[in-house]
Each structure stands twice: as C-alpha cells, then as structure tokens.
Amino acid sequence: MTRQPLISKLSIAVAAIASLLMFAWPLLIATNSQNENLLAQAVFLALMPMMIVITLVEFATGEIGSRQLAILGVMTAINAVVRLLGAGTAGIETAFFLIIIGAYVFRSGFGFILGSSSILVSALLGAGVGPWLPFQMMAAGLVGIGAGALPRFKPKAAQLLTLCLYAVFASFVYGALMTLWNWPFLAGGESSVSYLAGAGLGPNLLRFLNYEIVTGGFLWDAGRAITTCVLILLTAPALLATLRRAANRGGFEN
C-alpha cells in the first residue's frame, strides 16, 4: 500500500473528531435551550464544507483519481437505492455493507464521502428528509472512515472476518450516535433517563446508557449488525475482487 499523504490524514482526522463532538453535544454542553431544527441546520452547514474539503484534498493528493471518482459516483447511486430496501425498518439496514467494502478498498476519505453522500441521495429519493439527516450522513461517514483504516490481511477468510467484526462494532456505534444527538429531545425532562443540563459527563452518560437499555436501542442495533454481516458475507468476495481490479487499473494501490 502506498503511504497516505499527511494532509489527507489530517483532513480525515479533523472531520472524524468534529463529527464525534457534534454528536456528543449533550455530554459536553450544559444548556436548557434546545431546538432540534436549529441544531440540525447548524450541523448540516458544518458538514457540507467538510465533505467538499475532503473531496478536494483526496483528489489533489491522488488518493481519489478520476477513475475512483467515477466509482464513487456509481457506488453512491447504488447505495442510495439499496438503502431504500431497508432504511432501518425493524433494525434492517442495507446501507452499510457497500460503505464498508468500498472504504476497505479505497480508504477512509473515499469511505467518508461515500457514506455521507449516499445517505443524502437516498434521503432525497424517498428515505426521508428531516433534522436527523445531517447526523445520519455524519454517522455513515464515520463508518466509512473506520472501515478505511482497517488492517488489510492477505487470507480472504481473515478479510471477511475483519469486515464482519467491524460491521458489528460500527452498527452499535452508529446506533448510539444517532440516539445520542437527539436524546435530550426524545427522553423529555422528568425521568431518570432524561438529559440533565449541567449534570456533567459522568451522570449524563449513565442516564444515556440507561435510556438505550430502556428503549431497546441495543436490540435495534443488533438487527443492523446482523443484516450488515450477512450482506458482507454474501457480496464481499465478488465486490472486493471487482473494486480491486478497478483500483489497480486506475493506479491505486490498496
């Protein structure tokens, strides 16, 4: 694998840290003034420049060439349509296997753009547009960043195991992040699992974990993990071979 340019690593790291901080606002900011729509608008305004900057940096450094850019467009369109088959219904989520496989071949920058853009296109096609959308885009982008950083093992069985283990981890992280950002709006203000402004990181984190247990969030995430693992096992051997051939022809060394 060729060495990834420092500026590419830095841009991806900044995007990942900024995204995590935006998700974790209930644990970091003490406020009783909560407006879900204003929060979502602010996050969307921050997210779009991040996507553009990462795309430009990846293209300028050669991490994404013209061939990879074409592949990115095709995979974004396919994933947007595939997501409509599940879109999280009863824990069935069909969007992540392509993000994970694509990022595993083309690295984290490609994964962040693929994850974010395919969720956006899918929402415009009918999956639903609302205050949750920029957070879904960021969370899917983070899934792509993580998948792009996975170790590349030679044995195919080890690769599949790595992808499946990561799919389980990413599914639960995605679910936790998507619950965390709007937990203060959903939980209300008068229960033992509600967000408590000014309570500090420890007490609010404990309340959030209790909220996840009470609402069955972990069970929902388990459905996402199972769906993603099954789809990876079914499609990864063929997709990895196809994407790697395209990568090699485009001069990209995985």
Digit-coded pLDDT (tens) for 135-156: 999 999 999 999 999 999 889 9
Residue 254 included in any domain: no
Split into its structural domains, the chain has a count of 1
CB 99, CB 115: distance < 8 Å: yes
Q: Residue 254 CB: number of other CB atoms within 10 A?
A: 14
- What is each CA distance from 254 to 69, 82, 158, in whole angstroms? 16, 26, 16
Residue 108 included in any domain: yes
Q: What is the CA 151 to chain-centroid distance, rounded? A: 18
Residue 126 included in any domain: yes
pLDDT at position 127? 66
**Residues of the chain with confidence (pLDDT) below 70:** 1-3, 30-36, 87-91, 127, 187-189, 198, 250-254
Residue 185 included in any domain: yes
Residue 97 included in any domain: yes
R_g over Cα of the chain: 18
Residue 49 included in any domain: yes
Residue 1 included in any domain: no
pLDDT at position 30? 65
Q: Please report how many Cα atoms fall inside a 13 Å half-sphere around the Cα of residue 197, on the Cβ side.
A: 9
Question: CA-CA distance, 142 to 135, in Å (whole number)?
Answer: 10
Buried b / exposed e along 221-236 (16+ C-beta atoms within 10 A): bbbbbbbbbebbeeeb
Q: Which residues contact 182 (CB under 8 A, 6 or more apart)?
A: 36, 131, 132, 135
Question: CA-CA distance, 252 to 107, in Å (whole number)?
Answer: 11
Q: For residue 54, give both structure tokens.
A: 């990462």
Question: CA-CA distance, 141 to 147, in Å (whole number)?
Answer: 10
**Where are the alpha helices (H) located in the chain, listed in sequence order?**
6-23, 25-28, 36-60, 66-83, 96-122, 133-148, 156-186, 201-215, 217-249
pLDDT tens across 50-97, in order? 899 998 999 888 888 888 889 999 999 999 999 888 755 656 788 899
pLDDT at position 139? 95
pLDDT at position 121? 94
- For residue 31, the one-letter residue type is T
Residue 186 included in any domain: yes
pLDDT at position 132? 87
pLDDT at position 25? 82
Phi, psi of 2 (to 5 degrees): -75, 155
Overall pTM surpassing 0.85 (yes/no): yes
Specify the length of the chain in residues: 254
The whole domain housing 133 covers 7-249
